[in-house]
Amino acid sequence: MSDKIAANARRVDPRLLEILVCPVTKTPLRYDAARQELISDKAHLAFPIREGIPIMLVDEARKIED
């Protein structure tokens, strides 16, 4: 994969971030660009973003400890 394609795959459309909510709590998500995750502070879950696509499945989410 070229550097340009890889950089584009790591970007998430800001408009998408405005409408996505946690599938568990229905609360807004926080974008962690460094880890390429969407964080639900209320559910203590981090949803991965793969090739620019948020994976909003609870089974795919990483648990976040307090």
- In this predicted structure, what is the pLDDT of residue 58? 97
Cα separation, 47 vs 50, in Å, equals 10
pLDDT tens-place string over residues 10-58? 678 889 889 999 999 999 999 999 999 999 999 999 999 999 899 999 9
Contacts of 24 (CB under 8 A, 6+ apart): 40, 43, 45, 58
Tell whether pTM > 0.85: no
What does the domain layout of the chain look like in residue ranges? 3-63
Q: In the CATH hierarchy, which top-level class contains the domain 3-63?
A: mainly beta
Query: Which of 66, 31, 27 lies closest to 47 in space, CA to CA?
Result: 31
